[in-house]
Structure 1
Amino acid sequence: MTDYNHLSELELQAVIEQAEKALKDKLTNKRKEVLAQIKELAASINVAVEFHELADKPQESKSARVGVKVPVKYRHPQQPELTWTGRGIMPKWLQSLLDQGRDKSEFEV
């Protein structure tokens, strides 16, 4: 095993990049082998298996909620362009109305 304490920052970065590439290659090859085994087993019982075209590429995890619009829950009574979804910090217009003794349910959409 290499003594990493004697390597410079650039050398360590190069080792990390090489290791990441080697790992990616191994995972890709393993995936191809497993898919081939699945196809072979399926063919042995006369079942056709089709993999989605993205099945050969590792998926990057992405949030399913990215870009999801949240419906408006509260609207200012005199200025309808002022709205709030109920998420995050309460807007100043709603806070000032509540400070005046009004009930939040009055502004629900």
Structure 2
Amino acid sequence: MMKKTGLETMSIDDLWTLHERVSKVLSIRIASEKRELEKRLAYLNGGSAAIAREAELATRGVVEGKPRRKYPRVLPKYRNPSSPSETWSGRGKQPRWLVAAIKSGRKINDFKIEATGSSKAH
């Protein structure tokens, strides 16, 4: 038979204190267990677990000790004539409107934004 612990007769304050103590012990033990498992995983992977963690942080832009590099703004090079607010800088994947226009036989240069009067040569 199990011995009664008297939880039903304890006051709310006593129960809360017990809850806090149990939570603290659990968090310490879980953290310790996690560290041990990470050590074992790093050993089994030959150290590649630490590299994988660093790569994961880098993909989120969080490299320890290094802030993310600021990139200059890239101006658009191509514009959709039927919807002038749709532009593309020429980097990355081509937008759907451009892909559809090219498939219909138009050339990419048809959408090139002409340089305005802000040229450096006088």
Higher relative contact order (CA 8 A, sep 6+): 1
Same topology, TM > 0.5: no
Larger Rg computed on CA atoms: 2
User: TM-score w.r.t. structure 2 length?
Assistant: 0.36
